[in-house]
Amino acid sequence: MNLNLRSRYRDDPEINLINFIDVLLVLLIFFMVSTTFNQEGRVKVQLPQASTIPVPNGTHEPLVITVTAEGGYRVNERALINSSPDTLRAAILKEAGADRGPLTIRADARSTHQAVVTAMDVAGRLGFAQLNIATVHQDNSP
């Protein structure tokens, strides 16, 4: 016979884990919803594509704007007196007349980006819709 009444009625300690799990799940869902996953270290750039099909030559002579390394301009290999956008505009109007055919920009690799963008802007404002940028094919074969 067991005369120790305390040990007989003592309940085993019990931890209710259901409430603890509920709180953890709520916190997990909160952090998953409130966290933003930005990949700021990666810059996605969509590169332009070019075809190898030659452009058919028209009856008119193509208009070529050359940007020199110093930032000066030449229109159809005629040097301009200064590198002002107004001078470039006047030279393009003189050479092209009413023809708004394709225009090619040839820029020196050492020219500033601003000089090239200025030439593109002047041509765009004059209504040239087809703009070509001349490049040199570099053969990378060993």
pLDDT digit string, tens, across residues 71-128: 899 999 898 999 899 999 999 999 888 888 889 999 988 888 899 999 999 999 998 8
Same domain, 128 and 68: yes
Q: Provide the CB-side half-sphere exposure for 74 (13 A, CA).
A: 12
Q: Is 110 among the domain residues?
A: yes
- Total structural domains in the chain? 2
**Together in a domain, 67 and 128:** yes
Residues 26 and 83 in one domain: no
Range of the domain at 110: 63-133
Report yes or no on 54 lying in a domain.
no
Q: Output b/e per residue, 106-125; b: 16+ Cβ within 10 A.
A: bbeeebeeebbebbbebbee
27 and 77 both lie in a single domain:
no
Whether the CB-CB separation of 28 and 35 falls below 8 Å is answered with no
pLDDT of residue 17: 84
The answer to whether residue 43 sits within a structural domain is: no
What is the model's pLDDT at position 16? 81
At 86 the pLDDT is: 94
